[in-house]
A and B are shown apart, each in its own frame.
Chain A
């Protein structure tokens, strides 16, 4: 690999059976696909990134990264329709930083991927993100520069977009993260308590900021899965025995009835109830709710059977050479990085993608800038609520079919959110016809998105 390159020069152009167009040329630059550049922001936030050692709520010291002096960074809360302006200042992170709004389908130039949608913000520099929070739901933000190290080290926070009308429940965020191999919930090891009256419904927004699937389960109450990846579940039903899996990078909103306890593994749990409430945690259940059949069906806003393009994203693993170094590498469609696919679409296309995994490990697949609906798993069609995802847990041996509308022009990453896997080449891109790429991986800012 050259030290500086454009992602557009990378990979194998794939038109997915749709009409071809010129690759990487056009009249629209990624840099111009911004959010609203004028207008008074409804929410303006300054986030200062530092590389430093900090203390977890339990007293453990961690060498990592902070935003405004804390990790997790500030829990942002905005309202649907707000114009959000975030000024990111890199105080002293030597490798540079960015902020990616994970799950929020922002315009391409606001997506915060170093070397793809912007240059990394170097020490002493700042970058302003401006976007409209169009969809209510649970999201998070994190650096997408040397992300395998920076996210692990704490350069992230949560972002909740509240709907226009107030929610009927008490609203809590539970961001789960492993710092130095210690499991934490909102930065605290052990049990975290939150006050709620007996019988009160409480929404717990689980955010998995780690590299592996998070298993969570509820004790003391029945519960419902009311939203997945910032999209409401249609007619969720009561659950009791099963747990849930939150894929790496994914979010699941539960509604429990206080008093209740949500366990997130490694000794962490969130207990909601009147002050002083103790809820005994039951052991982790062997079964998890299957979102393929949970809730009831609803009409989709597009017809996935009328696809303009069909892509294959087939993950394996083999021995080979990357940059002359031997190793045991991930493959996409049988090829090693950088010979990975560049999925080409035109604005308005209905796109179907078959994602399969026979690599021996689970992969949380994250498509930037879009939400896709799950059509089937291992040939079994989805029969529950429309299951919208931006982050999808693809276990070894599984095959998912997803579909989405190409409605957000730009150059988007489509990668594994086990960020160590992404660093090791499990990365592809989605490119729109007529969009050009001004940024480079490497270069002056040493852009290294993974």
Chain B
């Protein structure tokens, strides 16, 4: 379970990088299109960057967050703080989606700015969760229950 926790938390951190890259590509590409005569209004469907950002953000990340949260309960025996950081990461993913949705519902771009900041916080939390397993490995050198190696 420790390995799973380790891998899933790394995937979430990687996901944040993918999301940042996808949305940067999406809007840079859109700006280049506009300079080339494209019109961006209610008819605009977005490009591959926007589509990827939507799929990863609405589907992949919440799924990974949920898996991490579930795994954290089993990993907690060998990874101190696993549950706490699993919970924080999941909560930040939920908050991230909520900030995106609120931006649209309230037509408030400033909330969108918080979405950008929260992405960095989420990245940090996912890395922290990942590093917990290293600390646990270090601790495993000390005599502990044998189960820590088994999983």
Which residues of A are at the interface with B, using a C-beta cutoff of 8 A?
152, 178, 181-183, 189, 210-213, 248, 265-267, 317, 319, 326-328, 359-362, 396, 418, 420
Besides the known contacts A210-B43, A265-B41, 4 further A-B residue pairs in the complex with CB atoms under 8 A apart: A181-B43, A213-B42, A267-B37, A328-B58
Which residues of B are at the interface with A, using a C-beta cutoff of 8 A?
33, 37-45, 58, 62, 101, 104-107
Bound together, the chains give a CA A182 to CA B44 distance in angstroms of 10
- Are A212 and B43 in contact (CB-based, < 8 A)? yes
CB neighbours (8 Å) of B38 from chain A are 181-182
CB neighbours (8 Å) of B62 from chain A are 326
Bound together, the chains give a CA A360 to CA B39 distance in angstroms of 21
The chain A residue with its CB closest to the CB of B44 is: A181
- Are B105 and A360 in contact (CB-based, < 8 A)? yes
- Are A359 and B105 in contact (CB-based, < 8 A)? yes
Bound together, the chains give a CA A318 to CA B80 distance in angstroms of 37
The chain A residue with its CB closest to the CB of B103 is: A360
Q: Which of A183, A326, A361, A362 contacts B39 (CB 8 A)?
A: A183
CB neighbours (8 Å) of A267 from chain B are 37
CB neighbours (8 Å) of B104 from chain A are 317, 328, 360-361
Shortest beta-carbon contacts, A-B, top 9: A212-B42, A266-B39, A181-B38, A360-B105, A178-B43, A183-B39, A360-B104, A211-B43, A212-B41
Bound together, the chains give a CA A248 to CA B43 distance in angstroms of 10
Q: How far is the CB of B82 from chain A (nearest CB, A)?
A: 26
Main secondary structure, interface of A, reads: loop
Q: Which of B37, B42, B43, B45 contacts A362 (CB 8 A)?
A: B42
Q: How far is the CB of B34 from chain A (nearest CB, A)?
A: 9
Bound together, the chains give a CA A8 to CA B45 distance in angstroms of 31
CB neighbours (8 Å) of A152 from chain B are 43
- Are B42 and A189 in contact (CB-based, < 8 A)? no
- Are A189 and B107 in contact (CB-based, < 8 A)? no
Given contacts A360-B106, A396-B107, whether A328 and B39 have CB atoms under 8 Å apart is no
- Are A319 and B41 in contact (CB-based, < 8 A)? no
The chain B residue with its CB closest to the CB of A319 is: B101
Q: How far is the CB of A36 from chain B (nearest CB, A)?
A: 37
- Are B58 and A182 in contact (CB-based, < 8 A)? no
Bound together, the chains give a CA A328 to CA B58 distance in angstroms of 9
Q: Which of B39, B58, B107 contacts A178 (CB 8 A)?
A: B39
- Chain B CB within 10 Å, residue with most, of A152, A211, A360: A360
Q: How far is the CB of B101 from chain A (nearest CB, A)?
A: 6
Given contacts A317-B105, A328-B101, whether A265 and B58 have CB atoms under 8 Å apart is no
Bound together, the chains give a CA A448 to CA B50 distance in angstroms of 26
Q: How far is the CB of A438 from chain B (nearest CB, A)?
A: 34
Number of A-B contacts (CB under 8 A): 50
Q: How far is the CB of B133 from chain A (nearest CB, A)?
A: 29
CB neighbours (8 Å) of B45 from chain A are 420
Sample 20 A-B pairs with CB under 8 A, ordered by A number: A181-B33, A181-B38, A182-B37, A182-B38, A182-B39, A189-B37, A210-B41, A210-B42, A211-B43, A212-B42, A212-B43, A317-B104, A317-B105, A319-B101, A360-B105, A361-B107, A362-B42, A396-B107, A418-B42, A420-B45
Q: How far is the CB of A208 from chain B (nearest CB, A)?
A: 10
Bound together, the chains give a CA A1 to CA B44 distance in angstroms of 28
CB neighbours (8 Å) of A362 from chain B are 42
Bound together, the chains give a CA A384 to CA B24 distance in angstroms of 47
Bound together, the chains give a CA A359 to CA B104 distance in angstroms of 8
Given contacts A326-B58, A327-B58, whether A181 and B39 have CB atoms under 8 Å apart is yes
The chain A residue with its CB closest to the CB of B59 is: A326
- Are B107 and A360 in contact (CB-based, < 8 A)? yes
Given contacts A328-B101, A360-B104, whether A265 and B39 have CB atoms under 8 Å apart is yes
- Are B39 and A211 in contact (CB-based, < 8 A)? no
CB neighbours (8 Å) of A396 from chain B are 107
CB neighbours (8 Å) of A360 from chain B are 104-107
Bound together, the chains give a CA A166 to CA B4 distance in angstroms of 78
CB neighbours (8 Å) of B37 from chain A are 182, 189, 266-267
CB neighbours (8 Å) of A182 from chain B are 37-39
CB neighbours (8 Å) of A212 from chain B are 41-43
Bound together, the chains give a CA A210 to CA B42 distance in angstroms of 8
Q: How far is the CB of A292 from chain B (nearest CB, A)?
A: 22
CB neighbours (8 Å) of A359 from chain B are 105
Bound together, the chains give a CA A326 to CA B94 distance in angstroms of 13
CB neighbours (8 Å) of B33 from chain A are 181
CB neighbours (8 Å) of A210 from chain B are 41-43
Q: How far is the CB of B50 from chain A (nearest CB, A)?
A: 13
Q: How far is the CB of B119 from chain A (nearest CB, A)?
A: 18
Q: How far is the CB of B65 from chain A (nearest CB, A)?
A: 13
CB neighbours (8 Å) of A326 from chain B are 58, 62
CB neighbours (8 Å) of B41 from chain A are 178, 210, 212, 265
Bound together, the chains give a CA A328 to CA B39 distance in angstroms of 25
Q: How far is the CB of A216 from chain B (nearest CB, A)?
A: 13
Bound together, the chains give a CA A326 to CA B45 distance in angstroms of 20
Q: How far is the CB of A320 from chain B (nearest CB, A)?
A: 11
CB neighbours (8 Å) of B42 from chain A are 210-213, 248, 362, 418
Bound together, the chains give a CA A183 to CA B38 distance in angstroms of 7
Bound together, the chains give a CA A360 to CA B58 distance in angstroms of 19
Bound together, the chains give a CA A317 to CA B101 distance in angstroms of 9
Q: How far is the CB of B58 from chain A (nearest CB, A)?
A: 7
